[in-house]
Amino acid sequence: MNSFFPLTLTQRDIFFDQMYYIDSPLYNIGGYIKCKGINIERMKAAHKKLALSHDVFGIRIVQKAGEVYQYVSKEVDYDMQIFDISHYPDSEKKAIEYLDELFQKKIEFIDKQLCFGYLLKLNTNDFWYVGLSHHLAMDGWGFAKWSYKLAEYYNDQDQALKRITPEELSYEAISQGDQKYLQSKRYNSDKTFWASLFQQPVDKLLSPHYSYLYKDSRYIPSTRYRHYLSRDLFSACSFASASIGVGVPHFMLGILAFYFASACDKKSMVFGIPAHNRNNHAQKNKVGVFTSVSPLGIDIAKNSTFKSLLNDIAKRQKANFRHQKFPFGDLISLLDRHSHERTLYDVSFNYLKLEYGNLKFGDDNVSVIYHPSGYYTTPLTVTLWDGDEDEIELQLDFNHAYFTFEEISQLANRFQYFAQFFSQPKNFERPLLDIPIVDREISRSLIAKISSEDSSLPQASCVHSLFEQQAQVQPDAIAVRYSEQTLSYQQLDEQANQLAHYLQAQGIGRGECVGVCLERSLDMVVSLLAILKAGGCYIPLDPSYPAARLAHIFEDTQLRFLLSDSSLVAVLPQMQGLCITLDTLVLDSYPVTPVALTFTPDAAQLAYMIFTSGSTGKPKGVMISHGAFANFLAAMQIRLSGVLAWQNKCLAVTTIAFDIAGLELFGPLSYGGEVVLASHADSQDPQRLATLIDAQGITLLQATPATWDMLVNDGWSGAPELVALIGGEALPLGLAKQLCARTKQLWNCYGPTEATVWSLVQAVDETQLSTGKIVLGGALGNYSHYVLNQQGQVQPIGCVGELHIGGVGLATGYLNLPQVTAERFIDNPFYDANNPASSERLYKTGDLVRYLADGQLEFLGRIDDQVKIRGFRIELGEIEAQLVAQPEVESALVVAKEVAGSQQLVGYVRAHNELEGDETQGEWLAERKAQLQAVLPQYMVPAALVLISQWPLTPNGKIDKKALPSPDSVVCVGHYEAPTGEVEWGVAQLWAELLGRAVDEISAHGNFFDLGGHSLLTTRLVAGVRSRFAVELSVQQVFEQRTLRSLAEVIGQAQGGAMLPALCAQPRAGNQAPLSYSQQRLWFIDQLQGAT
């Protein structure tokens, strides 16, 4: 009879992960031994002796009565399969292909053999012995012992044929030792130690590229990248580490910590460090698995040096070593992490010193190569192999969702560079935060890729002079059209001149601020031009703005002049200056010739001031000069090359209080085009907008995603000659595809108000649509872009940083806010006086981006979009991306709101198709949430999802987050409805017992998880259902039937008909023991997956 015993602590954690990644080969481990001229029969005998001598080949994992055990089977398959591939032209290539196929196939691990041997014959002289095992039975050290034992048996055939003797250390003895540990004071001491280290949630280092493209991140492949360090360099590092008083592993880990601290802008981080757990002779010689992983926290302070960092690493690792036996899975449970977040780290580091120099088969030395499975749970695993070779192998196993080949190659090169850098004693005491991780040459190259120098652009022209040149060239061409009214270039020029003369007569001085608060009309365009011609600076104001906002602007600017209309004066707040009503103003006596200014306008003079929302709640004025505005218009003309030519018609739909209106109006007027001014009603009605596009033959339209979305969703069929500009918010992939199908060309625009409308403008091409990667690129002339970390250093390709913008287009600053201006407009450490794209200042956008290998940028969200929920820092953009990735969702927004007395995530979603009825909408939202739970950690899943039929918009056409409805507690928990019937009341009583609630608090529509349930409680719920109703549920059913009523229905159906197979109790063997609290998690995952 088999003797059953619990899994070891190491096996427990591996088993749990494998059950979660149920179909993945990520825990396949092993490699191959490259031999020459071997005797096949001797190798078969050696393998047989190996399989029969080591109980790891007999290990079987079983589940009995809902618990997990193992036993050592006497039935061991010791046959070594032989594959002759010598007939292939390139047998070595074929061998690698075979290994890839073998190692990337999941090993069945329930009551099956876990270790296997194969022999590949490449030719008459070359053979590869392949050892493959599930990690439940083997680790890297164990495979090394496997290799040595195999060689020992091969070389001593007499020993290979001797009677099998028991190993010095059995798996059952290891398991018994672990069980004793779980009941010991040491376990409790270790538990206290680890809990004290990780009381606060830990931020991860890495963020995936376009994670929404991967339907299930559990099965994204990984690749092994190999880089080699010279023995001389490694010796220099060894000498340097010894001089500091630490080991080589500390030195190498210090390089990684320094790199990622800068590359990821983190001062605190956690790395996974394998603990070999082989503390005595028997354990070190055991063919099997002992390795576990311990999290190592590392902090880099402002004044940290490399020497102090290494000493801190050594100190912490020494402290961790005393407690490394504590199971990592128990730590995860202790910290109450959900099953989706199975780790505290996303980068692991391992230093292995495995010498195979004396490993021989016969008289020939052999080499041992570890082969990857192609899948890893950790996004990046860095392994340094210190063997017998002249070079040290640096292995980087990277997940494709997180790194590209170019990025990982760069990481390897930077690792080598800093190994050389820090091996020099003069660099031991340098402050780490002052050391750039990208050298100046690479920095210049990265900056150049997303910058554009064009000295031919008009850096000193005033904006209105560009219009005046067109009025001279084509005076009779229509300049602006509103409804049935039009003005030719000459008429617009003359009317603007008359108003400019009037304004000059009123005393408007150089750069004087003049407010414009008008409904959309020809007078609005005349007013803007007139103010510029008079030497003033226009401040566009939307008549729909609240009076309090307008009053603040009046006061902040000390406004002396306001151009408006008599119909609006009554609703405008009081102002100290002169309010000029254009509809009552008679200008016939003023000349139509240009104004003769008493000063010479220059590029530095202000052209306009836009008030944007401020973090203090008060709008702040962004001041834009003529030079910046003129440069932008000229750069756009070149970028769009022909789109803004005289024959084009631009439909202006944006309120003038939004800076992108400057392009809609002055872009066409500066280069001979026609502005078709849409009314406010036109811009808000998709049918009227579509009609206007067709009737006027519009060839250029710029709008925010919300406006384009409104048009598309109304069934607009498109316009084949229309060039579409889109910006102001991130461009959703679905909308991009629809617009590309409906227009001549789609251009994705990016830029903050502080950099004069747009700074990056790029056509959306087929590559972006097919890959799903909408990127930012195409720097406009005389703009430069920098991705910097908190120390102002250029970030490497693939690393997240804040986007900074430089160049001619920068705003002068914020009105009356010198401190805020100084904070946002900083000195440019990369300033080049000979480059027009460079500038003495940089603007900090607050946008998180990263360089891509092709020189473009990936937009990741806002710095201030970060929120903390229950201590976890969350990027809302990631959740939004996962929602939008669902085919049923048209658009989505996630915010943090106070719900049911606590800060919660609330997701707002808009469906592609109209949903009617509360029940249909509720089911649809439940499906969306279920899909989120499949790809996100639980703490990132919104507590409530709210269906939105139309997005509330600001006057600028962006989504008005303040106007979104605030869900109350019933959205999260559900309206109360008393349970009905015996089954529903029985389930309610079970929930009440498990959740610590009164039974009358639990509604028939209550959600088990929203009420406080979690993964471990589901197993107790299943047991309670079994006991109370004699019905066998799976944990997966509890997750699927989350409400009380739906779960009760499943129970009722099982009682009345086909019941799920019940678990049969088995007699317990004398040495069997129940799983510990942490092992219950393994049972939970098995029940979640069901029979496999």
**3-class SS of residue 1004:** coil
What digits encode the pLDDT tens for the residues 745-762?
999 999 999 999 999 999
pLDDT at 471 over 60: yes
Amino acid making up residue 612:
T
**CA-CA distance, 771 to 774, in Å (whole number)?**
8
DSSP structural state of residue 455:
T
Mean pLDDT confidence for 1011-1024: 67
* Among 375, 374, 380, 377, residue whose Cα is nearest residue 394: 380
pLDDT at residue 216 in the model:
54
| Per-residue confidence (pLDDT) for residue 1069, from 0 to 100 | 43
Q: Nearest-CA neighbor of 1009 among 1053, 1054, 943?
A: 943
Q: Largest Cα–Cα distance of the chain, in whole Å?
A: 121
Q: What percent of the chain has pLDDT over 90?
A: 51
Neighbours of 834 (CB within 10 A): 7
Single-letter code of the amino acid located at 296: L
Is residue 390 predicted with pLDDT exceeding 90?
Answer: no
Q: Which residue has the higher pLDDT, 164 or 911?
A: 911
DSSP code per residue over 464-503 = HHHHHHHHHH-TTSEEEEETTEEEEHHHHHHHHHHHHHHH
Structure-model confidence comparison of residues 714 and 513, the more confident one: 513
Q: Stretch 385-404: mean pLDDT, rounded? A: 86
Q: Where are the alpha helices (DSSP H) in 909-1043?
A: 918-935, 969-973, 981-995, 1015-1029, 1035-1040
The pLDDT-based confidence of 1080 (bands split at 50, 70, 90) is very low
Beta strands (DSSP E) in 28-114 are: 28-36, 59-64, 67-72, 81-84
pLDDT value for 1035: 62
- Structure confidence at residue 219 (pLDDT): 64
- pLDDT interval class at 209 (50, 70, 90): low
Domains in the chain, ordered, with CATH?
Answer: 220-354+374-438 (3.30.559.30), 463-849 (3.40.50.12780), 870-973 (3.30.300.30), 981-1061 (1.10.1200.10)
| Mean pLDDT of all residues in 254-277 | 91
pLDDT over 50 at 584, yes or no: yes
- Cα 130 from chain centroid? 38
Measured on CA atoms in the order 1072, 1075, 1079, 1084, is the torsion positive or negative?
positive
Lowest mean pLDDT, pick from 478-492, 579-593, 665-679, 1022-1036: 1022-1036
Band the pLDDT of 866: cuts 50, 70, 90: low
* H helix or E strand, kind and range, residue 368: strand 367-370
Predicted confidence at residue 338, as pLDDT, reads: 44
pLDDT single digits (tens) 278-302:
989 999 999 999 998 999 999 998 8
Instruction: Give the closest residue to 48 by CA, choosing from 81, 16, 25.
Output: 81
Question: What pLDDT sits at residue 869?
Answer: 66
Angle at 563 between CA 559 and CA 569, to 5 degrees: 90
Which is nearest to 837 in space by CA: 440, 441, 450? 450
CB 1005 within 8 A of CB 975: yes
Least confident of 34-43, 207-216, 323-332, 842-851: 207-216
* Averaged pLDDT, 1039-1051: 88
- 638 pLDDT higher than 70: yes
Sequence-ordered alpha helix ranges (H) in 752-817: 766-771
Higher pLDDT among residues 877 and 774, named by residue: 774
| Stretch 1038-1064: mean pLDDT | 72
Cβ pair 755, 824 in contact under 8 A: no
For 299-339, write each residue's pLDDT tens digit.
Answer: 998 889 999 999 999 999 999 999 999 998 888 877 765 44
| Per-residue pLDDT reduced to its tens digit, 330-386 | 888 777 654 445 678 989 999 988 766 678 898 888 888 899 998 888 889 999 988
**pLDDT given for residue 955 in this prediction:** 58
Q: List the Cα angle 1043/1049/1054 in 5-degree steps.
A: 130
* Sequence letter at residue 480: V
Q: Does 259 score more than 60 pLDDT?
A: yes
β-partners of residue 909 are 892, 947
Q: Give the residue with greater pLDDT, 245 vs 705.
A: 245
Residue 968 — pLDDT band, cuts 50, 70, 90?
very low
Decide if pLDDT at 266 tops 90. no
Confidence band of 459 (pLDDT split at 50, 70, 90): low
Look at residue 214 and tell me whether its pLDDT is greater than 60: no
Is the pLDDT at 207 greater than 50? The verdict is yes
Secondary structure class of 794 (helix, strand, coil): strand
In the prediction, which pLDDT does 617 show? 45
Contact 955, 545 (CB under 8 A): yes
- Taking the whole predicted model, whether its pTM rises above 0.95 is answered as no
Q: How far apart are CA 517 and CA 523, in angstroms?
A: 11
Q: Which has the closest alpha carbon to 490: 510, 467, 461, 506?
A: 467
**Per-residue confidence (pLDDT) for residue 432, from 0 to 100:** 92
Do 119 and 43 form a contact (C-beta atoms < 8 A)? yes
Give SS3 for 213: helix
β-strand partners of 133: 29, 115
Statement: residue 1015 has pLDDT above 70: no
Q: What angle do CA 523, 524, 527 make, to 5 degrees?
A: 80
DSSP letter, residue 215 = S
Residue with tokens 């990984």: 222
pLDDT, averaged across the chain: 85
CA 283/CA 996 separation, integer angstroms: 46
SS3 441: helix
Strand boundaries in 560-692, DSSP class E: 561-564, 578-581, 606-612, 620-625, 649-652, 674-677
pLDDT at 695: 95
Reported as a pLDDT band with limits 50, 70 and 90, residue 897 is confident
- Check residue 1011 and give its pLDDT: 67
Query: What is the spatial distance between Cα 339 and Cα 542, in angstroms, rounded to a whole number?
Result: 51
Asked if 832 contacts 838 with a C-beta cutoff of 8 angstroms, the reply is: yes
Residues 461-469 have a mean pLDDT of 88
In contact, 910 and 949? CB cutoff 8 Å:
yes
* pLDDT score of 455: 66
Mean pLDDT on 580-606: 88
Q: What average pLDDT does range 803-822 have in this prediction?
A: 95
Report the C-alpha gap between 668 and 565 in whole angstroms: 26
Any idea which of 82-86, 556-560, 861-865 has the lowest mean pLDDT?
Answer: 861-865
Count CA within 13 A, CB hemisphere, residue 423: 16
> Which pLDDT score is estimated for 976?
60
Among 609, 611, 607, 610, CA closest to 627: 607
pLDDT at 705 over 60: yes
